[in-house]
A and B are shown apart, each in its own frame.
Chain A
Amino acid sequence: MRIWHFALLGLWREWRSGELRLLSFSLILAVAAVTSVGFFTDRVEQALQQQGNELLAADLVIESSNPLADEFQLQAEADGLSLAHTLSFPSVVMGRDEPQLVQVKAVDDTYPLRGQLLLRSDRDSPVTVAHSVPATGKVWIAPRLLVLLDLQPGDSISLGESRFSIEQLVEMEPDQGGNLFQLAPRVMLNLQEIPATGLVTAASRVNHRLLLAGPPESIALFRAWSEPRLPDSARILSISDARPEFRNALERGSRFLALAALVTVLVTGAAVALSTRRLVERQSDAVAVMRCLGAKSGFLRNSLILRLLLLVLLTGLVGAATGYLAQTVLANLLGDWLSQSLPPPSPRPLLTGFATGAITLFGFALPPLLNLPNVSPLRVLRRELGATPPGPWLLGLSAFSALALLIFWEAGEARLAATLLAGVVLLLLVLSLLALLLIRIAGRLQQRARGIQRFGLASLSRHPGTTLLQVCGFGLGIMAILLLAVVRVDLLSAWENTLPAGAPNRFLINILPEQLSELEAFLKQNSIESSGLHPMIRGRLSQINGQPVIPEAYQNPRAQRLAAREFNLSWGMQPQSDNQIVAGQWWRGEAAPPQFSVEKGIAEALGIELGDRLTYRMGDRSFSAPVTSLRTVKWDSFNVNFFVMGSPATLRNESATYITSFYLAPEQEIIAAQLIKRFSSVTLLDVSAILAQVRRVMDRGSAAVEYIFLFTLAAGLLVLYAGILAGAEARSHESAILRTLGAARRQLLGAAAIEFALLGLLAGLLASIGAFITGQLLARQIFQLDYAFSPWLWVSGVGGATLGIGLAGLLSAWPLVIRPPLQSLRRVE
């Protein structure tokens, strides 16, 4: 009890005296940054996830070629989930006696559960959001069907035995991304109309979908319940099954957010280290007196640890509350950018916040603080006897452990974490070595310099420990600012450039071999540059190295699906321009023996390795070939790409249809209509809406990063402040003595300006180098981006730091030169 009483009293008295303020503020900022980032990213990630779910128009979909048993619907209702049903099937509509193949989609009143269905009343009217589904007797159709059938809104079409009036044009369906290769233009009608059309019979090829939405835990519960009960004809779709380009966009967004959070935490760690140094200096006297009065070191140590734990708890609470408020305000500010209703955050970031506070405090502050109770009581008689500073190895190990823990926790991804950790450790080593070098140089220069220059240089070399800490602290702070102000912008624009403005937005599929030359001529005539015509052959992977492929044998659900479905195979002489061979070699020449090149991701999922022999079955025929190369594919380039490609000899003789993609500007829309009329069997797919959605996801990710940048900036400024305070007492004492000896105010200010400008110059230089290296590492290793940094990085880093820190030094010296020297001397005493 006594120790609790003593610890609480001590904490209150230290807080009241201001001793703990800098440390507390650093911790509050660390926790606030992490929790606000945590709360915000949690919400953004949930929103992004939901937006991803918009691709399915639900959180979870059960797709089946037969009507689903009622038990699924009943269970979903019992789990409290929202439901919607859709039916889709190909059919033929008649408009003015002209038939046209269409893809019919019948929806019930609750469709869509996620995302928005966008409509136009005619081709030139503005886009509106659908708040209902087609009414009885009405259909909503794809705009291109109007062109194909030469119809206008309000005209009628026949579908089966029913006639419908065209009411709206479907601009975008939320779930069209999940079904890119839609064979024919959409006709959407009310599910209740289906029986009257007479189109759906027991033998019809119909895609039944049960759409489900609800809280993640209920969805997970339902998924777990339904998976073992699914018939062979059914499968579950969720966001993780959505198209690879969406997964990429989501993952990249999350990586940027993790990076921003991480940098903030690391910078506050530097602030904690700096403020602890000051705290230890100030607390040494108190400890010496207490030991004199009979306090045992164990008692003092336990009381100190208790105080630190209480500090973690209190700063954690304040930090988390600040973080929550900050994210609320910013989420509101960014409301237009982000989804209209961000979901509420989960409590997980709270735990992360408290843990971060504890790790930051104990990692960066504990070793020097733990030595505090060992201050000799003799210090009361001989003031030079302070706390023995912990060995550099202990300090380094402790800080490194904290760094590693924080980085791995925050990054949540081993590779990103390892790269960042290596970058930070390397940077700190380089910073320390270069700072020591500068201190030596300053010492040499000081002997030659005169007047105020000598004072300024002397301050740097007289307290090498403080100078080292300041340079490292300033360097980290400035690096954080540079990383986010300059490198972040460069990385984001490079990232956005991976989706160039002219990315293909139309796919042409089902091109017959005999149409190839005519189609090529048509595209050329209309100055359309395609990504090339690629053969497409459907085949099922039946064996790997002679062993049958059994989907159920795979643990990973994605691998199970991949193993169960038919692949679109292709063959060619060259890999696509965005492909990169990462293992083995691509074949040479037309005569190369049969062989496959497999996309790296799918190879990993299915356990395919270089040299494995794959057997594909097409109808009643099979063929085998070895895997001679693995490739990476940029799925978000929207080029035509294939998981598996064969050498010409492998697949040339198989019957194939062809596929191509190209960019069509909005004003070229008429060409699309001409193309469809001229090549009636070819299917034209419009992916521009999907592209816009990918872009939107990316834009929202970058807005979130910009918000998080504010915390890193605050952390950087805090480090700068802590760095200035670190040597404040010694400087105050020296200034007072110099003033007593007759130094002019101008001289003292000049000396401070020189000292801090030099500190800023070095810190800025080191920070620029650090930001450059870290940015390059991140760009190449993590984001697979290739670009050069702008020279602005160096100008703003070195120039800005010299000016800014020089000015900050001037401002910090001002109170010292206007205060009577005796006051300063008494304060130090």
Chain B
Amino acid sequence: MATTENLNLQVQARDLQKIVIGPTGKLTILERLDLAVHAGEAVAILGASGSGKSTLLGLLAGLDEATAGEVRLFDKSLTGMDEDARAALRAGQVGFVFQNFQLLPTLTALENILLPLELTGNPQARREALDALHQVGLTQRADHYPRQLSGGEQQRIAIARAIAPGPKILFADEPTGNLDQDTGAQIIQLILTLRKQIDVALILVTHDAELAQQCDRRLLLDQGRLEDIP
């Protein structure tokens, strides 16, 4: 039976390990680490380039499979789930913001935001997508294609796409990595503001300590292990 504590947990990793086979043999990226993120909590994961931050994010979001250990998303164990089952779990409940935006170049801004809503067959898709677009302040850019938008605008559209279905958790992988400092700061501000508005948990992967400072909790990934940063 699920406890109140468990119900409150959005994502939990236990004894998580990831080993890959490289040209020089086995490479341990994550070394038996534990992590728990609660509803509405904002957690920043810091680490040097190549420390395995994105790998951890991928595992927590169920995009990849761990070598050992367990990830529980919304109190459901991802271990043993196939990719389709994990996808079903993500649908409408998980939002992503990526460093390189990952907007589909063939779709307009509005259509990009519509995509997750159409996938879940949301009958109010258009209205909710327009709401999300409004929340990121780009209503006038609805019919623009990604190539017609600046980097900052593209990331705002990506944020709108992430929040549109009303997710429980948001994964953000270096969301300011491709932006200048000012725009990056605005984007982080937007993410944090929206997160509070819609009460969603956030796992933010970044190497920028200043950005991480604005989260509830900060963790450092080093040598495959997570350490709390006070």
Genuine A/B complex? yes
CB-based contact B104/A293 at 8 Å: no
For residue A87, give the distance in angstroms from its CB to the closest CB of chain B: 76
CB-based contact B64/A378 at 8 Å: yes
For residue B13, give the distance in angstroms from its CB to the closest CB of chain A: 17
What residues of chain A lie closer than 8 Å to B107, measured between beta carbons?
13, 17
CB-based contact A294/B83 at 8 Å: no
The interface size of chain A toward B, counting residues with CB under 8 Å, comes to 32
Contact check: which of A13, A296, A826 meets B111 at CB < 8 Å? Answer: A13
Known: A290-B115, A295-B87. A377 touches B106 (CB 8 A): no
Contact check: which of B94, B102, B105, B173 meets A294 at CB < 8 Å? Answer: B94
CB-based contact B83/A291 at 8 Å: yes
CB-based contact A378/B120 at 8 Å: no
CB-based contact B90/A285 at 8 Å: no
For residue B41, give the distance in angstroms from its CB to the closest CB of chain A: 22
| Supplied contacts A9-B118, A294-B93, A380-B98, 4 more A-B pairs, CB within 8 Å | A17-B106, A294-B87, A294-B94, A380-B96
* A377-B83 Cα distance, complex, nearest whole Å: 9
* A822-B77 Cα distance, complex, nearest whole Å: 45
**In the assembled complex, B84 has its CB within 8 A of some CB on chain A:** yes
* Residue of B100, B102, B120 most packed against chain A (CB within 10 A): B102
* A382-B88 Cα distance, complex, nearest whole Å: 22
Contact check: which of B57, B87, B92, B93 meets A291 at CB < 8 Å? Answer: B87
Quick one: closest A residue to B174, CB to CB?
A: A381
**In the assembled complex, B138 has its CB within 8 A of some CB on chain A:** no
Known: A378-B58, A381-B98. A13 touches B84 (CB 8 A): no
Residues 288-302 of chain A, each 1 if its beta carbon lies under 8 Å from chain B, else 0: 111111111111000
CB-based contact A294/B121 at 8 Å: no
Contact check: which of B89, B106, B119, B147 meets A14 at CB < 8 Å? Answer: B106
**In the assembled complex, A50 has its CB within 8 A of some CB on chain B:** no
**In the assembled complex, A232 has its CB within 8 A of some CB on chain B:** no
CB-based contact A294/B90 at 8 Å: yes
What residues of chain A lie closer than 8 Å to B64, measured between beta carbons?
376, 378
* A74-B89 Cα distance, complex, nearest whole Å: 78
For residue B148, give the distance in angstroms from its CB to the closest CB of chain A: 12
* A65-B61 Cα distance, complex, nearest whole Å: 93
The interface size of chain B toward A, counting residues with CB under 8 Å, comes to 33
B residues 131-178 in Cβ contact with A at 8 Å? 147, 173
**In the assembled complex, A520 has its CB within 8 A of some CB on chain B:** no
CB-based contact B106/A297 at 8 Å: no
Known: A5-B118, A13-B111, A376-B63. A289 touches B102 (CB 8 A): yes
What residues of chain A lie closer than 8 Å to B100, measured between beta carbons?
829
**In the assembled complex, A89 has its CB within 8 A of some CB on chain B:** no
A-B contact list, 7 entries, CB within 8 Å: A290-B119, A292-B90, A294-B89, A378-B63, A380-B98, A381-B54, A827-B147
Residues 267-306 of chain A, each 1 if its beta carbon lies under 8 Å from chain B, else 0: 0000000000000000001101111111111110000000
How many cross-chain pairs have Cβ atoms below 8 Å apart between A and B? 82
**In the assembled complex, B184 has its CB within 8 A of some CB on chain A:** no
**In the assembled complex, B91 has its CB within 8 A of some CB on chain A:** yes
* A381-B29 Cα distance, complex, nearest whole Å: 15
CB-based contact B63/A292 at 8 Å: yes
Contact check: which of A16, A19, A294 meets B116 at CB < 8 Å? Answer: A294
**In the assembled complex, A229 has its CB within 8 A of some CB on chain B:** no
CB-based contact A381/B116 at 8 Å: no
* A5-B120 Cα distance, complex, nearest whole Å: 12
CB-based contact A294/B98 at 8 Å: no
* A294-B83 Cα distance, complex, nearest whole Å: 10
Chain A interface helix/strand/loop/mixed? helix
Contact check: which of A16, A295, A377 meets B63 at CB < 8 Å? Answer: A377
What residues of chain B lie closer than 8 Å to A16, measured between beta carbons?
106
* A829-B102 Cα distance, complex, nearest whole Å: 10
**In the assembled complex, A2 has its CB within 8 A of some CB on chain B:** yes
**In the assembled complex, A554 has its CB within 8 A of some CB on chain B:** no
Contact check: which of A17, A293, A381 meets B58 at CB < 8 Å? Answer: A381
What residues of chain A lie closer than 8 Å to B121, measured between beta carbons?
2
For residue A825, give the distance in angstroms from its CB to the closest CB of chain B: 13
Residues 47-83 of chain B, each 1 if its beta carbon lies under 8 Å from chain A, else 0: 0000000100110010110000000000000000001
CB-based contact A298/B115 at 8 Å: no
* A468-B94 Cα distance, complex, nearest whole Å: 42
What residues of chain B lie closer than 8 Å to A827, measured between beta carbons?
147
CB-based contact B98/A293 at 8 Å: no
**In the assembled complex, A6 has its CB within 8 A of some CB on chain B:** yes
CB-based contact A6/B118 at 8 Å: yes
* Residue of A9, A292, A827 most packed against chain B (CB within 10 A): A292
CB-based contact A294/B91 at 8 Å: yes
For residue A375, give the distance in angstroms from its CB to the closest CB of chain B: 10
* A289-B84 Cα distance, complex, nearest whole Å: 14
What residues of chain A lie closer than 8 Å to B54, measured between beta carbons?
381-382
CB-based contact B63/A285 at 8 Å: no
* A292-B170 Cα distance, complex, nearest whole Å: 12
Quick one: closest B residue to A9, CB to CB?
A: B118
CB-based contact B115/A293 at 8 Å: yes
What residues of chain B lie closer than 8 Å to A289, measured between beta carbons?
102, 104, 115
Quick one: closest B residue to A377, CB to CB?
A: B63
A residues 546-592 in Cβ contact with B at 8 Å? none
For residue A2, give the distance in angstroms from its CB to the closest CB of chain B: 4
A residues 366-408 in Cβ contact with B at 8 Å? 376-378, 380-382
* A391-B198 Cα distance, complex, nearest whole Å: 47
* CB-CB nearest 10 A-B residue pairs: A294-B91, A17-B106, A2-B121, A293-B116, A294-B90, A296-B84, A377-B63, A378-B63, A381-B54, A286-B104
CB-based contact B119/A6 at 8 Å: yes
CB-based contact B173/A295 at 8 Å: no
For residue A627, give the distance in angstroms from its CB to the closest CB of chain B: 70
For residue B216, give the distance in angstroms from its CB to the closest CB of chain A: 24
CB-based contact A380/B63 at 8 Å: yes
CB-based contact B102/A377 at 8 Å: no
* A5-B125 Cα distance, complex, nearest whole Å: 13
* A376-B57 Cα distance, complex, nearest whole Å: 15
Contact check: which of B63, B84, B105, B116 meets A298 at CB < 8 Å? Answer: B84
For residue A18, give the distance in angstroms from its CB to the closest CB of chain B: 8
* A829-B121 Cα distance, complex, nearest whole Å: 30
Known: A294-B92, A294-B119. A377 touches B87 (CB 8 A): yes
What residues of chain B lie closer than 8 Å to A9, measured between beta carbons?
118
What residues of chain B lie closer than 8 Å to A829, measured between beta carbons?
100
Quick one: closest B residue to A287, CB to CB?
A: B104
* A437-B50 Cα distance, complex, nearest whole Å: 39
B residues 167-204 in Cβ contact with A at 8 Å? 173
What residues of chain A lie closer than 8 Å to B84, measured between beta carbons?
296-298
What residues of chain A lie closer than 8 Å to B98, measured between beta carbons?
380-381
Quick one: closest A residue to B84, CB to CB?
A: A296
* Residue of A19, A292, A294, A382 most packed against chain B (CB within 10 A): A294
* A829-B98 Cα distance, complex, nearest whole Å: 14
* A827-B147 Cα distance, complex, nearest whole Å: 8
Quick one: closest B residue to A297, CB to CB?
A: B84
What residues of chain A lie closer than 8 Å to B93, measured between beta carbons?
294
CB-based contact B120/A294 at 8 Å: yes
What residues of chain A lie closer than 8 Å to B173, measured between beta carbons?
381
CB-based contact B91/A297 at 8 Å: no
What residues of chain B lie closer than 8 Å to A285, measured between beta carbons?
102, 104
Residues 1-17 of chain A, each 1 if its beta carbon lies under 8 Å from chain B, else 0: 01001100100011011
What residues of chain B lie closer than 8 Å to A288, measured between beta carbons?
102
For residue A481, give the distance in angstroms from its CB to the closest CB of chain B: 34
* A768-B57 Cα distance, complex, nearest whole Å: 55
CB-based contact A293/B90 at 8 Å: yes
* A380-B90 Cα distance, complex, nearest whole Å: 15
* A516-B207 Cα distance, complex, nearest whole Å: 112
What residues of chain B lie closer than 8 Å to A6, measured between beta carbons?
118-119
Known: A286-B104, A829-B100. A297 touches B92 (CB 8 A): no
